Amino acid sequence: MHKTIYVGNLPFSSTEDDVRSLFEAHGTVRSVKLIADRDSGKPRGFGFVQMDADEAEAAIAALNGYELGGRALRINEARQRTGHRVRRPF
């Protein structure tokens, strides 16, 4: 079974390849998705990594607080969004 990991406080210069390399030390990475602002296209400083459940737990334990580009990463199991806001044009 796969698990999705939230990766927060990423340096804005991080690429999907950077994040994949970091997590591959702890197992097979199924996918990496970094989130960008939908209007400007600029990175928002967070993303998601999908791994097998056991490997994901090991990666979370090892990498939470890991410093990348001068920033301490926040890593935990991703949760479903509830009650998300809908953007409305002015």
pLDDT in tens, 78-90: 988 776 666 656 5
Query: Which sequence spans correspond to the domains of the chain?
Result: 2-77
pLDDT at 88: 59
The H or E element containing residue 12 is: none
Distance CA 28, CA 20 (A): 9
Is residue 5 within 8 A of residue 20, CB to CB? The reply is no
CATH class held by domain 2-77: alpha beta
pLDDT in tens, 21-80: 999 999 999 999 999 999 999 999 999 999 999 999 999 999 999 999 999 999 999 988
The pTM of this model reads 0.87
Per the listing, tokens 């009650």 go with 83
The H or E element containing residue 68 is: strand 67-68
pLDDT at 1: 86
